[in-house]
Structure 1
Amino acid sequence: MRLANKVGIVTGAGRGIGRAIALGYAQEGAAVVVCDLDATTAAAVAAAIRAANGRAVALAADVASAVDAQRLVDTALEQFGRLDVMVNNAAIANRKDFLELTEAEWDRLMDVNLKGTFLCGQAAARAMVQSGGGSIVNVSSSNSVVAHGSMVHYAASKGAVKMLTSGMAVALGPRNVRVNALAPSSVDTPMARNMLDSSSAEAQRVARIPLGRLAQPEDLVGAAVFLASDDSAYVTGTTIFVDGGRLSLA
């Protein structure tokens, strides 16, 4: 098992990409703190891990809260004695014409997608530095480098996460904390489905992906395990695009 004896936190783990990563980490031997704003979905994922003889606890938390970010780290330390991996996956998204985008919508999206990544990453890094090191995995997006007129705020947040990842890697590398990012393209998740207004919209997305299909959440797990494991011990400051070749057509 590639993550045996490691302890990880996964935010936004109640469904979609976060759920797949939490389950994948547990299958590779990690103990997992399953975090989601929705207590019910977080509890269900943690229960599924324990049912498969894994170790997991669920915690409802708002990543945009510094208090909740610290509570996540404290829970990992109290329940499992250490923290090795932090996956900053929690995010929100919606389509909105730029001229109609409100300040409140902008602020909430930035609070979750960017501020949440900063707060949870910082809290995790402090614990990792004290214990000798660790790995932080931020979830960015192919939208960090490809603009969409109806998702300006989302693309801006994910572009900022990509650069935050680079900066964190430089700041934390000397203290043996690695920081990398995953950047998926179109993933078949409930959040993404809510933004597809028709079957033709899905077909248009697929047409821009050389592999000819939307990603499934499980398609992100291999890269997420790699970045959490000792196999990536000399990898930091990198963004891995798990996009089915989407950027090759950009």
Structure 2
Amino acid sequence: MTFSAGDLSSPLSKSSREALLNQVIVVTGADQGYGRVLGMALAHAGANVILVGKATETLASIASGIEQRGGRAIPLAADVSVPLDWISALERILDIYDSVDGVVHLADKRAHSSRFHELSETEWMDLFNTNVKSTVAITQVLRRLQPQAWLSVVGPHQDEVGLQVYPQRGAIRALVEHASQEGMRLNLLIPSRSSSGDDQLDQPLADVVLSLAAPGLGHLRGNVLSVPLQAPGQGAAGRG
């Protein structure tokens, strides 16, 4: 089922810092794109956040910012497009917390829009591995090690162009829809654009992620959510 994130009735619309108190939530790809705003939002809602990515200095900086604001975050270097790396990362997290409540996976690495038709075979496969292979690996490992955990996937955004985006988005969508039929709590979020780097403009995506993490919405699974985001530079007139 596909619908707009605006149709999602959020129990967190008037949330406090205790909304996700003590949930253990992993954010993958946290060192780029939407990673920072999602990590900050989850920590603000009371979750213990594990920031997973390849850029250790960036992860440490985001974790430090969360801690300075009273949240709890741990940076963890791992390449989740490599299944053994993801397994190792998850086992390290379980050593600390015993269980994981949920994972937000950023499967939204994009090609440079002005030259997507010039991508080399290596670049094509890098995109596939980062977006699709990593999503499959994360789902499979969660099913085996933490079957009760939920997974929200942020997929290739709607403004991504090029033939490479269709099989990526289609494969992730099929995985989400069919995994839910096997009892897993998976949902796919498709933002209207890539991260702006402005937390205020990107906040609507964080709001949807927070809503899906809420225990009261555990029945929502197998959904594809379109998340409209204001374009940078629109100003107050574009906020409607």
Give TM class, smaller chain: 0.7 to 0.9
1:181 Cα deviation after fit: 1.1
Show the counterpart of 2:144.
Answer: 126
Show the counterpart of 2:150.
Answer: 135
The percentage of counterpart residues that share the same residue type is 27
Q: d(CA) in 2 for partners of 1:142 and 1:39?
A: 25
1:45 matched to 2:24? The reply is no
User: Which among 124, 147, 155 is matched to residue 106 of structure 1?
Assistant: 124
Match of 2:178, SS state, is helix
Q: d(CA) in 2 for partners of 1:37 and 1:88?
A: 14
Deviation per residue, 1:110-140 (Å, 9 max, x gap): 00000011112222232222xxx12110112
User: Which among 170, 178, 183 is matched to residue 185 of structure 2?
Assistant: 178
Amino acid corresponding to residue 162 of structure 1 in structure 2: R
1:20-39 aligned at under 5 Å gives the runs 20-39=37-56
Query: What are structure 1's unaligned runs of at least 5 residues?
Result: 191-214
Show the counterpart of 1:162.
Answer: 173
1:64 matched to 2:81? The reply is yes
Q: Given that residues 13 and 90 in structure 1 are in contact (C-alpha distance below 8 angstroms), is that contact kept between their aligned partners in structure 2?
A: no
- Larger relative contact order (Cα-Cα within 8 Å, sequence gap ≥ 6): 2
Q: Given that residues 140 and 159 in structure 1 are in contact (C-alpha distance below 8 angstroms), is that contact kept between their aligned partners in structure 2?
A: no
Match of 2:221, SS state, is coil
User: Which among 113, 116, 129 is matched to residue 134 of structure 2?
Assistant: 116
User: Which among 148, 151, 169 is matched to residue 162 of structure 2?
Assistant: 151
Deviation per residue, 1:130-183 (Å, 9 max, x gap): xxx12110112453xx8x6x4221343122212211122112x1xxx3111111
What is the TM-score normalised by the length of structure 1?
A: 0.77
Show the counterpart of 2:91.
Answer: 74
1:245 Cα deviation after fit: 9.6
Q: d(CA) in 1 for partners of 2:59 and 2:166?
A: 27
Q: d(CA) in 2 for partners of 1:92 and 1:164?
A: 18
Show the counterpart of 1:237.
Answer: 222
CA separation of 1:231 and 1:7: change in aligned 2, threshold 3 A: same
Backbone CA RMSD of aligned residues:
2.3
Match of 1:16, SS state, is coil
What is the TM-score normalised by the length of structure 2?
A: 0.80
What is the total number of aligned residue pairs between the two structures? Answer: 211
Match of 2:205, SS state, is helix
Show the counterpart of 2:9.
Answer: none
Q: d(CA) in 2 for partners of 1:136 and 1:64?
A: 16
CA separation of 1:44 and 1:245: change in aligned 2, threshold 3 A: closer
User: Which among 79, 91, 102 is matched to residue 85 of structure 1?
Assistant: 102
